[in-house]
Structure 1
Amino acid sequence: MLFHQEIAVLAAGPAAVLGGLTAAQAWGLRGYDSRIVDVLLPAPHQSRALPPGVRLHRTTLLGEEDVLHVGQPPRTMPARSLVDAAQWVVTDEQARAVVAAGFQQRLVGGDDLHMVLNRMLRVRRRSLIRRTAEDAAGGAHSLAELDFLDLVRRAGLPEPSRQAVRRDADGRRRYLDVWFGRWRVHVEIDGGQHLDPATAWADMRRQKRPVGRRRPGPFPAWAVRNDPRTVLAQVGAALRAAGWTASP
């Protein structure tokens, strides 16, 4: 694969670099294997004939801070790679997943993507990338957690913390998916995939749970996306039982 990438960059011209998902994979991004090699080329430069499996993108902005020239083939830096990948994929959901994975797998952190977006003013999905990066930097690293945050905001529930750290009775550090700290309500989001997620969720709903308990769920990703009313009802009930009241 590395040989194919080197050939792709050489074929595109001396100013070309690996970009997007291909560059992110070179930095260690997992779960997005592709036989397509994404190559980025500054707009003024002419490209040569490209071999099969190479996808050429052009850009009017490719500064030194965006490129790693050490080693071969040259590639864009992690934050620039993720921004480009997010604007080149087909769907918004894929874009959100790529950005979240970059934070989850520690390719980027903090305001890394914001710095890129501040330099690149004409980015496809700019608002979506920025919003996803803000949530991911705050601890919502999975797509299911991001979907849950969207539900919470649309329903007018209070803003939770993400991946909050607490210590259990034995003094061990525990990471909570979603933590409404003021009301001490903990929500667990299960990003795992079940062979039959609808049936698994139906089984979970049939389990008797105390009304108003402070650990509603756990909620599988399928339920967050396909049964949001039930999810919100359980979370809202737990918050109200803990003393939260909706703003008038």
Structure 2
Amino acid sequence: MGEFDEPFIGSWAVGAGVVTRHQLRHDFDRIAPDVYWRRGRPLDPIARAKAAVHWTKGTGVLVGRSAAALLGSAYVDADQPAEIALPRHRRPPPGITVVQAELARHERCEVDGYPVTTPTRTAFDLARRLPRDQAVPALDALCRATRLDPSTVAAFAEGCRGSRGSARVHAVLGLVDAGAESPQESLTRLLLIDHGLPVPTTQIVVRDVGGEFVARLDMGWEKWRVAVEYDGAQHWTDTAQRTKDIDRLAVLAEQGWLIVRVGADLLRNRPYIVIDRVMAALNAQGAQLDDGSPGSHANIVRERFCTKAW
């Protein structure tokens, strides 16, 4: 337990003489029945997951987002409840969700002594239980962290036909790309795919004529030298980062690349502008996606946005 950097079972700590009851009441927060956490420290997804295991006295197995967090996935939402499987339902306290499930031995493993579902089983559960636009970013991150191949999950899913939600797993797996480095990059990629654009390649390495490294691009089409970059807040607010970005874009332009930059507002509120800009860049580079006719790709995309069919 070290310097109380993890949740712990209060009665066991008192019994072992590690803390006194007075310290337990005054220095720690009770975050679940008999489970405590140092007062004032934020509860991240990993700590929340470990607390759930302690609440079950080690009888539960972490699943879903909680398993993904311990397996190394980045960007797990800290506000989501911990998810844990028990063979029989038990009413959980706030901050914990119980899934009633019997897990086979080959479907579970341990991370730092805590029981979690394997990467394959975790991916299967995320794919079948989450809405697509949450499942794909979650699986992108899990596959990136664990080097899990989606084909392994697809094979596992074949043996789980009939399980709740299993019918949607293959569709989700077909969209997974471990090259995404953030949920926003995953959602940007889905936006492009959903509107019929060619599937972009992620993490494109650009080199100059001498083979020297120039840049790594979030996603794009090397054939046409068009890339789409999702820029987080630091790209707009950090002066040093903005200067670096300006220089980088200039060098990429010299190499013949057109870059479409996407931010949070564009992605969330004005996605049709992203599509228009990407299509314009692709057509300018010879992709010939829009011939101007009423049935052209660009007009079909605009109609989808206008009718909110997207």
| TM-score (norm: length of structure 1) | 0.69
Aligned to 1:135: 175
Distance in 2, Cα, partners of 1:238 & 1:49:
54
Aligned to 1:157: 197
- Aligned partner (choices 286, 289, 297) of residue 246 of structure 1: 289
Distance in 2, Cα, partners of 1:108 & 1:68:
16
The alpha-carbon deviation at position 182 of structure 1 amounts to 1.9
The 3 A distance-change label for structure 1 pair 57 and 189 is: same
Residue 287 of structure 2 aligns to a residue whose secondary structure is coil
Letter in 1 for 2:279: G
Letter in 1 for 2:73: L
Distance in 2, Cα, partners of 1:154 & 1:70:
36
Aligned to 1:41: 86
- Aligned partner (choices 250, 257, 270) of residue 227 of structure 1: 270
- Aligned partner (choices 108, 118, 134) of residue 67 of structure 1: 108
Aligned to 2:56: 9
- Aligned partner (choices 270, 279, 282) of residue 236 of structure 1: 279
Aligned to 1:110: 149
Residue 28 of structure 1 aligns to a residue whose secondary structure is coil
Residue 216 of structure 1 aligns to a residue whose secondary structure is strand
Letter in 2 for 1:19: V
Fraction of identical pairs, as percent: 26
The 3 A distance-change label for structure 1 pair 236 and 130 is: same
The alpha-carbon deviation at position 52 of structure 1 amounts to 6.0
The 3 A distance-change label for structure 1 pair 31 and 215 is: same
My pick for the range that moved more, 158-167 or 234-243, is 158-167
Check the 8 A contact 2:140/2:179 in 1, yes or no.
Answer: no
Alpha-carbon deviations, 1:105-147, whole Å to 9, x = none?
x1343224334433333243753x5444443336234333333
Check the 8 A contact 2:201/2:219 in 1, yes or no.
Answer: yes
The 3 A distance-change label for structure 1 pair 244 and 56 is: same
The alpha-carbon deviation at position 25 of structure 1 amounts to 2.3
The 3 A distance-change label for structure 1 pair 71 and 189 is: closer
Q: Which has more radius of gyration?
A: 2
Check the 8 A contact 2:137/2:187 in 1, yes or no.
Answer: no
- Aligned partner (choices 50, 58, 70) of residue 100 of structure 2: 58
Distance in 2, Cα, partners of 1:131 & 1:63:
25
The alpha-carbon deviation at position 67 of structure 1 amounts to 0.8
Query: Does 2:70 align with 1:26?
Result: yes
Residue 176 of structure 2 aligns to a residue whose secondary structure is helix
Coordinate RMSD, CA, aligned: 3.7
Aligned to 1:101: 141
Check the 8 A contact 2:224/2:285 in 1, yes or no.
Answer: yes
- Aligned partner (choices 217, 237, 240) of residue 176 of structure 1: 217
Residue 206 of structure 2 aligns to a residue whose secondary structure is strand
The 3 A distance-change label for structure 1 pair 245 and 35 is: closer
The 3 A distance-change label for structure 1 pair 174 and 120 is: farther
Residue 136 of structure 1 aligns to a residue whose secondary structure is coil
Distance in 2, Cα, partners of 1:139 & 1:164:
9
Distance in 1, Cα, partners of 2:195 & 2:91:
52
Q: Provide the aligned length of Structure 1 versus Structure 2.
A: 223
The alpha-carbon deviation at position 53 of structure 1 amounts to 4.6
Aligned to 2:258: 215
Alpha-carbon deviations, 1:40-81, whole Å to 9, x = none?
134xxx456766654221236x33321116874322112322
Distance in 2, Cα, partners of 1:246 & 1:35:
41
Structure 2 gap ranges (5+): 1-5, 9-50, 238-252, 291-295, 297-310
Alpha-carbon deviations, 1:149-179, whole Å to 9, x = none?
3333343333321222332466127322122
